[in-house]
Chain A
Amino acid sequence: MVWRPTLAERRENKKKDKGAAKAPARLAVKKTYKLYLGGAFPRSESGRSYPVTSADGTHLANASLASRKDARDSVATARKAFGGWSGRTAYNRGQILYRIAEVMEGRHGQFADQLVTAQGIGRAEADRIVSAAVDRWVYYAGWTDKFAQVIGGSNPVAGPYYNHSAPEPTGVVVVFAPQDAPLLGLTSVLAPVIATGNTAVVVASEAAPLPAIELAEVLATSDVPGGVVNVLTGKVGELGPHLAAHADVNALDLAGTGDQAVEFEKAAATTLTRVLRPGPETDGGEEAWLDTDPGTSRMTPFLETKTVWHPVGV
C-alpha cells in the first residue's frame, strides 16, 4: 500500500500545474538518489536504477535498484560497524540519536515538501508526520540508557553468587521498512534497532524510497558512524530472500514484507535468525505509527539477555 492523496488533493495539484509556466525561470537542480552504504552514498554496483513516481504518476527521481551484491556488502559493512556501535556508551548513543532529531528538525520543511510531493498528502498532515518522526528519534534517544535497567537486573539466586542479567544488541538487523509509511513508519522501525546498539540494513519502501535516502543524509551528518545504518532501495522480492537467509544476519524486522513475510520467516529458520513478524500497523499508512509511546515492544525483539554468574567470597 502506498500513501495516496485524496481526490480533492489531486484536483488541487492539477490546478497548480495549469498555472505553471512552460519553462521555469530557473531550472531546479535535482538530486540523484543513491544507496547509503558504510557512511557513503554509492550507486548500486549493478548500475541499475528504477523510476520513482509521485502518487499521481509524475516522475520524481530514479532510485538505485540495489542488487544482491549490494545487499551482501551492506550486511558486511553493518557487521563491521557492530562492534564499535554496540561498544559505545549508552549515553553516547543517546546523544547521537538526539542529534539525528536536531538535524532532522532543521530539514523539517524539506521532509514535509517531499511527503507532500511524493505522497500527495496535505501540508498540515505532512508536517504532523515529520514532527512525529523527529519526536520518535527524541523518544528513542532517551531510551538508550534506560532499557537495560528496565529489562535487566540482578537475580536473587539461592547461593553465594552475584547474578546479573543484562540486555545486549543481537547484532545485524535487516529492517524491511513499512511500504506505506516511508518516513514515520521507517523511523519507528529503525530507531529502536540502533538505539539498542544493533546495526541495520534497511530495505526502504519500494514505491516511496526517497524519504529513506533523505533520512540517510540526516544520519550521515549526525555523528552516526558509517555502517551503523545502511539503506538499500530496490525490490523486496529481489533482496528479501537473500537477506532473510543470510547467515550473518541476526534478526529481521518483517514490517514491510507483505505477503512474503512467511517465506522470509521460513528462510530465517535455517540459521535461527530472530524474526519480528509484521504487526497491527501493517497497511495502516503513516497514521498507524503515531503512537508516541511504543515502549520496549520494538526493542526487546532485537535484544539478547546475557546472564553472568560470579561467586561472592573473600
Chain B
Amino acid sequence: MIFEYAPAPESRSVVQLRETYDLFVDGEFTPARSGEYLTSLNPADEEELARVAVAGEADVDRAVAAARRAQETVWGRMSGAERGKYLFRIARIIQERSRELAVLESMDNGKPIKETRDVDIPLVAAYFFYYAGWADKLAHAGFGPNPKPLGVAAQIIPWNFPLLMLAWKIAPALATGNTVVLKPAETTPLTALVFAEICQEADLPPGVVNILTGAGETGRALVEHPGTDKVAFTGSTDVGRQIARAVAGTDKRLTLELGGKGANIVYDDAALDQAVEGVVSGIFFNQGHVCCAGSRLLVQESIAEEFLPRLKARIAKLRLGDPLDKNTDIGAINSAAQLERIRELTDTADEEGVERWSPDCDLPESGYWFAPTLLTGVSQAHRVAREEIFGPVLSVLTFRTPEEAVAKANNTPYGLSAGVWTEKGSRMLWTAERLRAGVIWSNTFNKFDPTSPFGGYKESGYGREGGRHGLEAYLG
C-alpha cells in the first residue's frame, strides 16, 4: 500500500511582515541616507517578502558612532549582572516568539520548518541564555582578573543560519560589555530585523545593538570603518581573506569562521544505520548550506559496496519541497546565485567523468531547487572533492587503511569539521587526534551547543565561537 503524507504546512499567520524595513540604529528604525532598498525573496517561490534598506558609508558612520556612545556611556559601565539580565530577557522573548521566528526564517531562507523550529531558534535562545550567565563571571573565565571589553564590534553574518549566526555574534559580544553593529546577509535580513524589535521590546539601551542591512558594499564599509575595535565575520574564505587584509595594520581584533570541505570517515566496523543517518544529515541538513558540512564521504573500501546502496535508499526517502511543510527534509536553495554555483560546480564533475546520482524527486516549478546528489568515483583530484559546493551534493571517496583515511581527510586547505564512524573507541580517538579540524563529530554530525567551542583550522578561519573560548574574541 502507499502511505502518502498529506501536506502539513505550518501556518504563516504568526508572521506579520512589514512592507519595508529600515536600518536599526541607536534604538530606532531609520531610513538609509541613500534611500535605497533591496528586496528579500522567499527562495521557495520567488515571492517578494519585504523591502529592506541598503546602508551606505554615512549609515555605517552613524551606527558606529551610536555603538561607541552606548559602549562608553551605558553598556561598558553597566555591571555584568545587569548586562546579563538584559540578555536573559532577550533569550526569554526569543523563546516566546519562537514560532514566529521559525516561520519567518523558513520563509526568508528556504530551510525546512522542521529545522528552524527544532534546531535554529531553540539554539538562538540557548546561546543568549548561556552568554547571559557569563556577563557577571568574566573574571573567572581565565582571561585575567579584570578582563575588559574591546569596545565596538563590527559583525557580518551569512545567510545559511541567519538568526543563529546573529546569536553567535551578538550574545558573547554583549555579555562581555561590547556594543555591536551587525550586518545580516543580503538575502536573509528579516529575522535580524525582528531581533531589532526584540531589542526594543527588551528595553535594551539604544545603540547597544545596531543592525545595518545591505549587500557586500555595506559589509566592506563596515569592515573598513576605522571606528571599530573588532571585526567578526562568518562567510566565505575568499571574503575572509579580504577582511584579514583590510584589518592588517590596524589595532582591530579579528575572528573568522570560513568555509570547509569536511570529511566524514566511515570505518568498516561502524554502526551502519547510524552512519548512514549521520552521512545524510552531514550533507543534506540545511540543503548542505553548512560550512561544516560533511561534504566528502570517505568510506572504507571493504564496506563501500554495502554502504552505498543503503545510503541511496535512505536519500531516496528524503522529502524535498515546501519549507513550511512539517514533513519537509530538504528545502529550497537560498538564492538564484547559489543555485547557479552549485550547478556549475556539479557540472564540472560530469565533465571530469564522475558518476552522478539523484533519487527520483520532483522539483517545484518556481523557486530555487536542487535535488540531493551523490557523486561516486570521486578522487582527491576532482574539483568537487576540493572546492566547497555549499549545497546538497556529496562526493564519495574510498580508503583502505586508517592512515589513508586521515591523509585524505586532511588533504584540503580547509580544516573546519570532520566525522568519524567506528564502534572502536581507541580507533575513534586515534583518528580524532590526527584530523586537522576544529570540530570532530564522532558517531554523530552537525551537532551544536552554546557551551561547545566551534571554529576552524587552516583556511577555515581563526578564533572560536561558543563556550568559554568564545569570550576570548571580545575581551582585551
Q: Which of B142, B452, B459 contacts A150 (CB 8 A)?
A: B142
> Ordered nearest first, which 6 A-B pairs have the shortest CB separation?
A269-B244, A262-B249, A265-B248, A157-B449, A269-B245, A155-B451
- A305 to B471: give the CA distance in the assembly, Å: 14
| Contacting residues, chain B, for A163 (C-beta < 8 A) | 449, 451-452
Interface string of B452-476 (1 = CB under 8 A from A): 1111011111101001110010000
Q: Which residues between 200 and 254 of chain B lie within 8 Å of chain A, taking CB atoms? A: 237, 240-242, 244-245, 248-249
Contact call A157/B442, Cβ cutoff below 8 A: no
Q: Enumerate 29 A-B pairs (CB-CB under 8 Å) in ascending A order.
A: A155-B449, A157-B447, A157-B452, A159-B449, A161-B444, A163-B451, A163-B452, A170-B457, A250-B458, A265-B244, A265-B248, A268-B248, A269-B241, A269-B245, A269-B248, A270-B241, A271-B459, A275-B248, A305-B464, A305-B469, A306-B432, A306-B440, A306-B457, A307-B439, A307-B454, A309-B441, A309-B442, A309-B444, A311-B443
Q: What is the 8 Å Cβ interface bit string for chain B, positions 426-456, against chain A (1 contact, 0 not)? A: 0010001000011111111001010111110
- Contacting pair B432 A305 (CB below 8 A): no
Which B residues are CB-close (under 8 A) to A310?
A: 428, 442-444
Question: How many Å lie between the Cα of A31 and that of B432 in the bound state?
Answer: 47
Given A157-B452, A266-B248, A309-B444, 11 further pairs, Cβ under 8 A:
A155-B453, A155-B467, A165-B452, A165-B453, A262-B249, A265-B244, A268-B244, A272-B258, A305-B464, A308-B439, A310-B428
Residue in chain A with minimal CB distance to B457: A304
- Neighbouring B residues of A170 by C-beta, 8 Å: 457
- The A interface is mostly helix, strand or loop, or mixed, namely mixed
- CB-contacts of B394-448 with A (<8 A): 413, 428, 432, 437-444, 447
Q: Are A308 and B432 in contact (CB under 8 A)?
A: yes
Q: How far is the CA of A247 from the CA of B462 in the complex (A)?
A: 16
B294-346, CB < 8 A from A: none
**Cβ-defined contact, B438 with A272, below 8 A:** no
Complex interface bits, A240-266 against B, C-beta within 8 A gives 1, otherwise 0:
000000010010000000000110011
Q: Please tell me if the beta carbons of A308 and B241 are within 8 angstroms of each other in the complex.
A: no
Instruction: Give B460 Cβ to nearest chain A Cβ, in Å.
Output: 8
Known contacts A266-B249, A305-B438, A309-B444, A272 near B451 by CB under 8 Å: no
Question: Are A307 and B457 interface neighbours, CB within 8 A?
Answer: no
Q: Mark A295-308, 1 if CB is under 8 A from B, else 0.
A: 00000100011111
B451 proximity list for chain A (CB < 8 A):
155-158, 163
The interface residues of chain A lying within 8 Å CB-to-CB of B443 are 310-311
- Rounded to whole angstroms, the CA-CA distance of A58 and B71 in the bound complex is 56
- A158 B469 Cβ-Cβ under 8 A: no
Do A307 and B444 touch across chains, with their CB atoms under 8 A apart? Answer: no
Distance, CA A163 to CA B440, complexed state (A): 10
Interface size of B by CB at 8 A reads 41
Q: Binary interface profile of A, 275-312, with partner B (CB < 8 Å = 1, else 0)?
A: 10000000000000000000000001000111111110
Q: Assess whether B256 is interfacial by the CB under 8 Å rule.
A: yes
**With a CB–CB cut-off of 8 A, which chain B residues contact A151?**
142
Report the nearest A residue to B425, measured CB to CB: A310
Chain A residue, CB-CB nearest to B251: A277
With the chains together, A130 CA to B241 CA distance in Å? Answer: 41
Smallest CB gap from B250: residue in A: A262
| A155-B453, A163-B452 known; A262+B248 contact, CB < 8 A | yes
Q: Which of chain A's residues have a CB closer than 8 A to the CB of B453?
A: 155, 165, 305, 307
B455 with A305: CB separation less than 8 A: yes
8 Å CB contact of A272 from B437, B441, B461: B461
| Interchain CB contact under 8 A, B469 and A165 | yes
Contact residues in B for A305 (Cβ distance below 8 Å): 438, 453, 455, 464, 469
Indicate with 1 or 0, residue by residue over B256-288, a CB within 8 angstroms of chain A CB atoms.
101000000000000000000000000000000
For residue B126, CB closer than 8 A to chain A, the reply is: yes
Q: Does A68 contact B (CB under 8 A)?
A: no
Give Cα A272–Cα B247 distance, bound, in whole angstroms: 12
What separation, in Å, do the CA atoms of A43 and B439 have in the docked complex?
Answer: 43
CA distance in complex: A262, B248 (Å):
6
Query: Does A80 count as interface, using CB distance less than 8 angstroms?
Result: no
Query: Of all chain A residues, which has the CB nearest B256?
Result: A272
Q: Chain B's nearest CB lies how many Å from the CB of A188? A: 19
Which of B126, B258, B459 is packed against the most chain A CB atoms within 10 Å? B459
With both beta carbons as reference points, the residue of chain B lying nearest to A306 in the complex is identified as B438
Q: How far is the CA of A302 from the CA of B413 in the complex (A)?
A: 18
A274: Cβ under 8 A from any B Cβ: yes
Chain B proximity of A296: nearest CB distance (Å): 8
| Contact bitstring A157-188, B, C-beta under 8 A = 1, else 0 | 11101010100001000000000000000000
Give the distance in Å from the alpha carbon of A204 to the alpha carbon of B245 in the complex. Answer: 26
Q: Which residues of B contact A275 (CB under 8 A)?
A: 248
The reply to whether B244 and A309 contact each other, CB–CB distance below 8 Å, is: no
Q: Say yes or no: A307-B452 contact (C-beta < 8 A), given A262-B249, A269-B248, A272-B458.
A: yes
Residues of B close to A309: CB separation below 8 A:
439-442, 444, 447, 452
**What B residues does A261 contact at CB under 8 A?**
249
Shortest beta-carbon distance from A140 to chain B in Å: 19
State how many angstroms separate the Cβ of A189 from the closest Cβ of chain B: 19
Assess the B441–A274 pair: CB atoms within 8 A: no
Docked Cα-Cα span, A247 to B413, in Å, equals 9
